[in-house]
């Protein structure tokens, strides 16, 4: 059955990937995970099969590390929400306020210093990076709370905290993690075409950031008025095909 929260979390993850905080570092991430330099990735001709294979496998483990952190955050958010269940309305208002402030940051209305942090991978010899190493880098990436991940992730975590069961809350963060990391894996499969696409897409990243800010303000409004479920019902009535999803 169609669930607007689940689909919203997945789309949120995809939008985050194409944000100014994530997309610019992806080429360097691919180089890091493949254990080769950017010159090799940008050179003419096909990549060596072992380099391509290492990039794909490492990206899967990297993604698993990110999703692990998000799932733990979902479980923690639900536990906190249940502990303060009698104050759920107040918690919802506070959540909406935080999301709105972050949305204004992305729109450029206000500037919040700590949201301008960025995740960076230390350069070095990665030829011997193990699968465990890729997983640990994923854990570090998620724990780093980059600006775009931190903003949208906050909205998803707040939504997860209001779910009926812990499994639903954890599932919401899992779906968000899949939405964010799936493009990483696809990029590893198609490194050279992706690098060309990323170079062309750079000029649109400012627009993506503004779109994120607008969506977060809309979400904050829906949250404070407790109308998220009404949106889901409206979409099902308007587009019956969603009931089969």
At residue 232's C-alpha, the angle toward residues 231 and 237, to 5°, is: 95
By the 8 A CB rule, do 43 and 134 touch?
A: no
| Longest CA–CA separation in the chain, Å | 62
For the chain, the structural domain boundaries read 4-34+49-115+143-238
The answer to whether 205 touches 72, Cβ cutoff 8 Å, is no
What contacts 121, CB < 8 A, 6 or more positions away? 25, 28, 29, 32, 137
Q: List the structure tokens of 51.
A: 């380099």
Q: Answer yes or no: are the C-beta atoms of 62 and 33 closer than 8 Å.
A: yes
Check residue 9 and give its pLDDT.
82
Residue with tokens 């944000």: 19
- How far apart CA 26 and CA 12 sit, in angstroms, is 18
List, run by run, the mean pLDDT of 10-residue segments along the chain (245 residues): 67 82 79 70 68 86 90 80 70 80 83 59 53 84 65 74 76 89 90 81 79 82 71 54 49
Quick check: 106 and 212 in contact, CB under 8 A? yes
CA pair distance 19, 108, nearest whole angstrom? 14
Determine contact, residues 121/25, Cβ cutoff 8 Å: yes
The DSSP call for residue 241 is G
61 within 8 A of 135, measured Cβ to Cβ: yes
> How many other CB atoms are found less than 10 A from the CB of residue 225?
11
Residue 36 · residue 175 · CB < 8 Å: no
């Amino acid at each position: 059955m169609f669930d607007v929260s689940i689909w919203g979390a997945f789309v949120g993850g995809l939008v985050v990937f194409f944000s100014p905080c994530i997309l610019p570092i992806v080429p360097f991430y691919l180089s890091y995970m493949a254990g080769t330099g950017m010159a090799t990735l940008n050179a003419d001709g096909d990549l060596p099969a072992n380099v391509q294979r290492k990039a794909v496998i490492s990206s899967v483990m990297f993604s698993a590390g990110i999703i692990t952190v998000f799932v733990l955050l979902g479980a923690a958010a639900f536990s906190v929400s249940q502990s303060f269940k009698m104050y759920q309305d107040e918690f919802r208002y506070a959540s909406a306020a935080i999301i709105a402030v972050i949305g204004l940051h992305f729109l450029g209305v206000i500037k919040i210093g700590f949201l301008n942090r960025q995740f960076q991978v230390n350069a070095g010899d990665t030829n011997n990076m193990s699968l465990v190493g890729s997983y640990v880098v994923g854990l570090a990436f998620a724990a780093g709370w980059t600006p775009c991940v931190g903003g949208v992730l906050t909205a998803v975590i707040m939504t997860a905290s209001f779910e009926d069961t812990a499994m639903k809350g954890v599932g919401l963060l899992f779906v968000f993690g899949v939405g964010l990391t799936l493009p990483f894996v696809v990029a590893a499969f198609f490194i050279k075409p992706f690098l060309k696409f990323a170079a062309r897409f750079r000029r649109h990243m400012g627009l993506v950031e503004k779109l994120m800010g607008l969506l977060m303000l809309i979400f904050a409004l829906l949250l404070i008025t407790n109308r998220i479920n009404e949106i889901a019902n409206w979409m099902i009535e308007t587009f019956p095909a969603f009931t089969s999803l």
